[in-house]
Structure formats: C-alpha cells, structure tokens
Amino acid sequence: MVYIGHMLDMARKAMEKVQGKSREDFDEDENLRMAIALLIQVIGEAARRVSPVFQQETSHIPWKKITGMRHKLVHDYMHVNYDIVWDVVNVELPRLAQELEALFQDT
C-alpha cells in the first residue's frame, strides 16, 4: 500500500498543478510540462513496484498502461506527445485517483 499511496499523492500533485490552467497555459509553460511528465513518470515507477499478485487482484486498474507511460517518458523522452500528457493529467489521473482512494477505503 506504500506504493499505492505514493501513486495517489503524485496523481493529486499533478492534478493540482494543472487546476485552473488551460491547454494554452500548459503549452506555454515548459516547467509545468516537465513537472507533469515527471509526476506521471513517478506514478509509473511506483506502479511498477506494486506486487504482481496485488496487480492481479486489482485488474480494473490499468497497470500495464501506467507503467507503459512511464517507459515512454523515460526511454523516448525526445518524442513525448504532450497531447497525451495533457489528457493523462486531466482525464486519466482523476479516474486513477478515484480507484486508488477506493483501495484505501477497502482496507
């Protein structure tokens, strides 16, 4: 649960950073883009450390997509698609945060 908590903390941090920001704000702020990419990368790294058994038990969470995004950001950093990063922080992370919060309620 330590890694789940870390994922949730980083997701909340990323969502907080873009709260009230437009896509234009995001595109014009290199530091914001880099911060969001790093937070998503950290979420993926934490997800990678969640045990395979727990991942299987929580198969409704897209573990492979989360770690895949981390791999893309780390290994293909010269070709990051910020349309996808924007979508992740505004659409996928709020969903993920809800799922992770529910895991804490179930324990």
User: Of 12, 49, 60, 75, which residue is the catalytic one?
Assistant: 75
pTM for the structure as a whole: 0.93
Give yes or no: 75 in active site. yes
Using the predicted structure, report yes or no on whether residue 78 has a pLDDT greater than 70: yes
As a dihedral over the C-alpha atoms of residue 3, residue 87, residue 105, residue 46, rounded to 10 degrees, the angle is 0
User: Of 60, 70, 71, 95, which residue is the catalytic one?
Assistant: 70
Q: What is the pLDDT of residues 5-26, one digit of tens each?
A: 999 999 999 999 999 999 999 9
Mean predicted lDDT score pLDDT of the chain? 96
Binned at pLDDT 50, 70 and 90, residue 98 comes out as: very high
Cα–Cα distance, 96 to 61 (Å, whole number): 7
Cα–Cα distance, 98 to 75 (Å, whole number): 28
Percent of the chain with pLDDT over 90: 92
At 76 the pLDDT is 86
Burial class (CB in 10 A: 0-12, 13-18, 19+), 100: buried
At 107 the pLDDT is 63
The C-alpha R_g of the chain, in whole angstroms, comes to: 14
